[in-house]
């Protein structure tokens, strides 16, 4: 195989590996962001349930 072809292939492999590393890092960041958003969603749900329970209690107090 011609040396120039081997060098081009090595360069392309290096580019693909660098891109893969970048995508893996982006994936880790997105997974962390997703986890934070899921936690926030759960907290909103808890707060909403608390508010609805309070409103339900107020509704029962009214004659």
Average pLDDT, the chain: 94
Cα–Cα distance measured from residue 36 to residue 40, given in angstroms and rounded to the nearest whole number:
6
Q: Enter the DSSP assignment of 42.
A: H
Higher pLDDT among residues 26 and 63, named by residue: 26
Cα–Cα distance measured from residue 21 to residue 63, given in angstroms and rounded to the nearest whole number:
65
Average pLDDT over residues 41-51: 97
Q: Answer whether residue 45 shows pLDDT above 90.
A: yes
pLDDT in tens, 9-32: 999 999 999 999 999 999 999 999
Instruction: Give the pLDDT confidence score for residue 58 in this predicted structure.
Output: 84
| Residue keyed to tokens 């880790």 | 28
């Amino acid at each position: 195989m011609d040396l120039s072809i081997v060098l081009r292939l090595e360069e392309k492999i290096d580019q693909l590996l660098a891109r893969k590393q970048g995508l893996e890092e982006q994936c880790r960041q997105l997974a962390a962001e997703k986890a934070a958003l899921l936690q926030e969603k759960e907290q909103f749900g808890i707060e909403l349930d608390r508010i609805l329970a309070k409103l339900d209690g107020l509704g029962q107090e009214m004659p």
